[in-house]
Each structure stands twice: as C-alpha cells, then as structure tokens.
Amino acid sequence: MKSTIPVIIAFLSGLAMVAAFILSPGKFGDVGGELLRWVSIIAGFTLLLGVISIVRVNIRPVMRREKGWYNKLALLLAVAATGIPAVLPVSWSPMLGTGDNSIYDWLFNNMNAPMMSTMFAMLAFYIASAAFRAFRARNTEATMLLVTAVIVMLWRVPMGESLFASIHPDLPQGINNYVMGGINIAVQRRIIIGSAMEAATMGLRIMLGIERTYMGGSSK
C-alpha cells in the first residue's frame, strides 16, 4: 500500500499529462495546466526540503566537533545569513526579502558572484597546465582530437580567424560548415536522440511502476 498509492498517483499524473498534450484543451479541460501549477507549488516545497536536509547533514558534525567541523559551520552560517533575511517580509525592513539593495542582494553581488567567478576563472589556469602535460598525440584518435581542438580554438578567436582568412578567405566559414555544422552535429544528434529516448523510457518506467527509486527504495 505504501508504494502502490504513489505508483497509482504517478501513473494517473503521467497519463493526464500525455492526454492533455495529445487532446485539444477544449476536450480535456485545463487538467494539464492545473497539474503544472501543482508541480510548481510542490517544487517550491522541495527547496525547503533541501534547506532542512543541508542543516540536518551538517549540524551533527558541528555539534560533535568532527574533523572539518568549522567548514560545515561556515556553510550553516552562510545558509542562515542568506536564507533568513531573504524569507522575512519586506514590510519589516527594505533590507529584507530578495529585492534590490536587500541583504540577500548584497551577499549575492559582493560575495557569491565574485567567488563563483573566481572559481570559474581558475579553470583557465588548470586547462593551460593540463594542455601542456596531458594533451598528447599518442595514437591516431588522440591526434585527430588534438588537431581538431587546435583548429577550433584558433577559429573561435579573431586572431586565428584572420590567420585562416589569410590562407583562404572562405576558410573560416569552411571550418564553421564542416567542423561545427558537420562532424559536430552528427555526434551531438546521436547524443540528443539517445538521451531523449532514455528520458522517454524513464518516464514510461516511472508511470508503470517499474522504476521506484524516486520513492527512496531500490528499483524493482
């Protein structure tokens, strides 16, 4: 019973969405739209669930002074400092809520954004180091990858574009057509079609109750 009811709900919800998509709205009412509003509301609660989960996971190591507890404390303080002022009503103070010039906004613009940008920018250094140490033409496949990477890297910047154009005026467009619009598309389509089929299969498995890991247990 504990797992049957969720499976029935999943089946009916899935069926309603498929029917709403296939049938015209007049024949089926706005069941699809109504379900989507439910999904949107439930999804809001999942964010709350995420906050509860992160607090539960991290508070115990802090209380027990486990290894690296101060990192977890910093995380909890960050969650509290960002979350609490953001959910309190703006009517109490203009610094509350998530609007312009709020505490949340200030923390995002002056702490979160610079930290995220810094982490992302550091990739350039690691990529340069990895390119020097690991990108080797050891065999035919690796050589093809390396040559293509070099061509695309040059083509994507004005300096390289000018270099190619000096060899032949149509060469930059030729690279666009044959590498990005040819080889690349063939590979990408295979991935997109494969993942779409996988998503459809997974949807069907959930609807039919074969896939039950979303309920916290293992698949049947």
Partner 1 sequence: MSIWEKIGNVDRRWIYLAVALTVIFPVIFPLKLPMNVTPEARQLYDAIEALPDSCVVMLTFDYYASATAETRPVSIAALHHLFRKNIKVVTMTTIPLGGPSMASEVTRLMAKEYGKTYGVDYVNLGYKANYTAVLLGMGTSIEGIYPTDQYGTHLAELPLMQRVKNYEDISFIFIVADNGIVDNWISIVNAQFNKPMGAGVTAVMAPKFYSYLQANQMIGLLGGMKGAAEYEMLVNKPSMAVSGMNSQSLVHLLIIGFVVLGNVAFFAARRRKGTSE
**Residues near partner 1, by CB under 8 A:** 21, 25, 30, 32-33, 36-37, 39-40, 42-44, 46-47, 90, 97-100, 104-105, 108-109, 112-113, 116-117, 119-121, 124-125, 127-129, 131-133, 135-137, 146, 149-150, 153-154, 156-162, 165, 172-173, 176, 180-181, 184-185, 188-189, 191-192, 196
> To the nearest whole angstrom, how small is the minimum distance from the Cβ of residue 103 to partner 1?
12
* 64 versus 138: smaller Cβ distance to partner 1: 138
> To the nearest whole angstrom, how small is the minimum distance from the Cβ of residue 140 to partner 1?
14
* 33 versus 217: smaller Cβ distance to partner 1: 33
Nearest CA to 14 out of 211, 207, 175 is that of: 207
> To the nearest whole angstrom, how small is the minimum distance from the Cβ of residue 158 to partner 1?
4
Tell me which H or E stretch contains 45.
Answer: helix 31-63
Q: Report how far residue 20's alpha carbon sits from residue 34's, in angstroms, rounded to the nearest whole number.
A: 11
* 66 versus 115: smaller Cβ distance to partner 1: 115
Instruction: Compute the chain's Rg from CA coordinates.
Output: 26
Task: Give Cα separations from 63 to 67, 112, 130, 192 (angstroms).
Answer: 11, 26, 40, 46
* 70 versus 84: smaller Cβ distance to partner 1: 84
Q: Which residue has the tokens 């709020």?
A: 102
> To the nearest whole angstrom, how small is the minimum distance from the Cβ of residue 73 to partner 1?
21
> To the nearest whole angstrom, how small is the minimum distance from the Cβ of residue 180 to partner 1?
5
Q: Label residues 41-70 b or e (16+ Cβ within 10 Å = b).
A: eeeeeeeeeeeeeeeeebeeebeeeeeeee
Here the tokens at position 28 are 């089926």
- Please give the span between the terminal C-alpha atoms of the chain, in angstroms, as a whole number: 15
* 62 versus 88: smaller Cβ distance to partner 1: 88
